Chains A and B, each alone.
Chain A
Amino acid sequence: MTNRVFERRRWRQLPVALALLAPSAIILGAFIVYPLVKAVFLGTERCNSTGTRCIEGGWDQYADTFRSTEFQHALWVTTQFALVTVPLGLAFGIGLAVLAHKHLSGVGVFRAIFSSTVATSVAVASLMWLFLLQPSVGVLSNIGWIADAFPVIKQPGLLNDPGTALWSVALSSVWANLGFTFIIITAGLQGIPDDLYEAAALDGAGGTRRFWKITLPLLGPSLLFVLIVLTTRAFQAYGEIDLLTEGGPRPDDSTTTITYLTYGRNSIMATDQGLQATTAVLLFVVLLGLSFLQLWSLGRRVHYGD
């Protein structure tokens, strides 16, 4: 009998619940779910520049786009970008957090400094780095001994040389993400109880051993979170590329990532919404696969405490 009472109460609460959920559901539905579903179908079409006239291109368009030189190139550029920014970001984040974690006097100042880049938007951070790296009006090329030691800084410039452009953008991106990474990992460190270290020290474990046996394993959840966020950000990188290199240098398109291929002003897709939708959906699929892969392969090994 009580079951029936509860069941009736659940149904009675349904209208109120739906009313409370409606504002969120409408926005999420109209601007996340609908555009994703719509993009899947739009991805089968070829459109004119305004998207007013589209003709059916068929589902093959996904396979064709995926196999195209342009997409493969962008996928490779994006992968390289991620392979640089994610490990470097993690390493710097862990290093700085451990360095600034100790009970030193004045460590608060250093923490504030290391967190500071969280206040820079992608545009602000990118313009700061543009000013550092730009070959004619930049800082580095106008400091005599640096420009002499590394001629590439002046001619053709780190952002204009196909060999260095992507790494330069990556460096600016690592810097911009540093504050975020540092804050998360520092919070993770604070959750590790001091007596674990004390017990390990009593047992004769040195600093290096304590780092590998206690710090890293117990940081697991924070590191997994940072790993996934940094990977996602690397695959979504757009602002730094737009402001630093505009996808160039050409003709190699050395910094044309998938996102820049989709939305960039100079991209060959800039005027075709059908193709843009195709790459947007492919980006979603690639990112989803990566996130699941990371969660699946690492998630089981991460120690969440109790």
Chain B
Amino acid sequence: MAAEHRITGARLVGRYTLLGIVAFLTLFPIYTTLVAAFKPGDKVLVNPLVPDSFTLEPIMNAWSDGNLGRYLFNSFVVAMIVTIAQVATSLLSGYAFAMLDFPGRTVLFVAFLATLLVPIEATLVVNRRTVDGLDWLNTYQGLAVPFLATAFGTFLVRQALMAVPGELRDAARIDGAGHLAFLRYVALPVIVPTVGALALFSFLSSWNQYLWPNLITTEESMNTVQSGLTLLRRSSIDEPNALMAGTVIAAVPIFVALLLFQRSLVRGLTSGAVKG
């Protein structure tokens, strides 16, 4: 056991105290939100830190009046479309870059990666015109179609497939498997962790989109959770319990999803950071 790992006595107490203080500060905004979301309106600002009364009314109201049920549904539909499509398009293009040798491969791959340098904010002015021109304002396709592919996913899948031994490919070819059959039955099972991480990452990015749904949604019923919160902020700023109830409803699905898929999330987030 190295000296490094032996912290004792006063230093141990100090370390736990410090951890406790920082943990308290980190959770503070979440705590005050939860307290307010379950308090009746006249009690919210009296002792805002003390959960001295409990009611589900703000949650019910945010769900029905704030229309959050509908927004959650919209967000879910869009995020599912984006996730499935991003996984599919990334598998196909990642496969092409990793497993096939063709003229122009390097140039095309660099071109794909270059799209990652473009901040989404630089494209939305024109994308809004495009979507408007297609008559896709206030539609699911307007919300989803611009994000059906990602160079990040292509890169992840390519990296994972590069690790698949060439002998597997050759063996499958001798058995008469075409490209799609090989991808589906041989390569995919090997890279399931990568695909899982990509799927979670895609879902989260889509779900958390803020600017785009705000730009192309004018009909109240087509808001996503995020742009719905923008509406709620404007309508309910004087009813903090309603506002915080809406915030809780919007946050819960992702908290639950991340609890379930923590491992995938860490893998997805760090795959961008490790050396390729």
Contact = CB atoms under 8 A, between A and B. Distances in A.
A107 to B, nearest CB: 8
A66 interface: no
B179 interface: yes
B247 A119 contact: no
B273 interface: yes
Interface in A239-282: 239, 242-243, 259, 262-263, 273, 276-277, 280-281
Interface in B163-220: 179, 207-208, 210-211, 214-215
B26 A23 contact: no
B126 A35 contact: yes
A52 to B, nearest CB: 10
Interface stretch (A67-75, A95-103, A148-156, A162-170): A95-103
Nearest to B269: A183
Contacts of A187: 266, 269-270, 273-274
Contacts of A24: 89-90, 92-93, 112, 149, 151, 154
A134 interface: yes
B121 A34 contact: no
Interface string A267-306: 0000001001100110110011001000000000000110
A287 B123 CA distance: 14
Interface in A89-135: 96, 99-100, 102-104, 107, 110, 113-114, 116-125, 127-132, 134
Contacts of B22: 96, 99, 114
Interface in B242-259: 243-244, 246-247, 250-251, 254-255, 258
Chain A contact-residue range equals: 35 or more
B125 A262 contact: yes
B59 interface: no
B30 A20 contact: no
Given A120-B251, A281-B122, A104 B226 contact: no
B26 A139 contact: no
Contacts of A34: 126, 130
A11 B102 contact: yes
A64 interface: no
A123 B240 contact: no
Contact of B115 (A28, A273, A276): A28
B118 interface: yes
A192 B88 CA distance: 35
- For the complex, would chain A's binding face be called helix, strand, loop or mixed by DSSP majority? helix
Contacts of B117: 288, 291
B83 interface: no
A238 B23 contact: no
B139 interface: no
Contact of B2 (A35, A42, A143, A197): A197
A222 B273 contact: yes
A157 to B, nearest CB: 12
Contacts of A62: none
B30 A116 contact: yes
Contacts of B92: 20-21, 23-24
A281 to B, nearest CB: 6
B45 A137 contact: yes
Contact of B48 (A38, A139, A238): A139
B250 A128 contact: no
A32 B123 contact: yes
B131 to A, nearest CB: 9
Contact of A113 (B18, B26, B46, B269): B26
B9 interface: no
Interface string A24-60: 1111101111111011001000000001000000000
Interface in A177-221: 178, 180, 183-184, 187-188, 194, 197-198, 201, 210, 221
A54 B104 CA distance: 38
Given A28-B151, A33-B115, A131-B244, A51 B129 contact: yes
A288 B116 CA distance: 11
B121 A27 contact: no
A225 B46 CA distance: 44
21 contacts: A21-B96, A24-B112, A30-B146, A32-B123, A104-B7, A110-B23, A117-B26, A118-B269, A120-B254, A123-B210, A132-B28, A132-B32, A139-B36, A143-B48, A187-B269, A187-B273, A198-B2, A201-B3, A236-B121, A276-B125, A305-B275
Interface of B: 2-5, 7, 12, 15-16, 18-19, 22-23, 26-30, 32-33, 36, 44-46, 48-49, 88-90, 92-93, 95-97, 100-105, 108, 112, 115, 117-127, 129-130, 132, 145-151, 154, 179, 207-208, 210-211, 214-215, 225-226, 229-230, 233, 237-238, 240, 243-244, 246-247, 250-251, 254-255, 258, 265-266, 269-270, 272-275
Interface of A: 6, 9-11, 13-14, 16-18, 20-21, 23-28, 30-36, 38-39, 42, 51, 96, 99-100, 102-104, 107, 110, 113-114, 116-125, 127-132, 134, 137-139, 142-143, 175, 178, 180, 183-184, 187-188, 194, 197-198, 201, 210, 221-222, 225-226, 229, 232, 235-236, 238-239, 242-243, 259, 262-263, 273, 276-277, 280-281, 283-284, 287-288, 291, 304-305
Given A28-B149, A142-B46, A287-B119, 8 more contacts: A20-B93, A25-B112, A25-B149, A27-B146, A27-B147, A121-B207, A131-B32, A137-B237
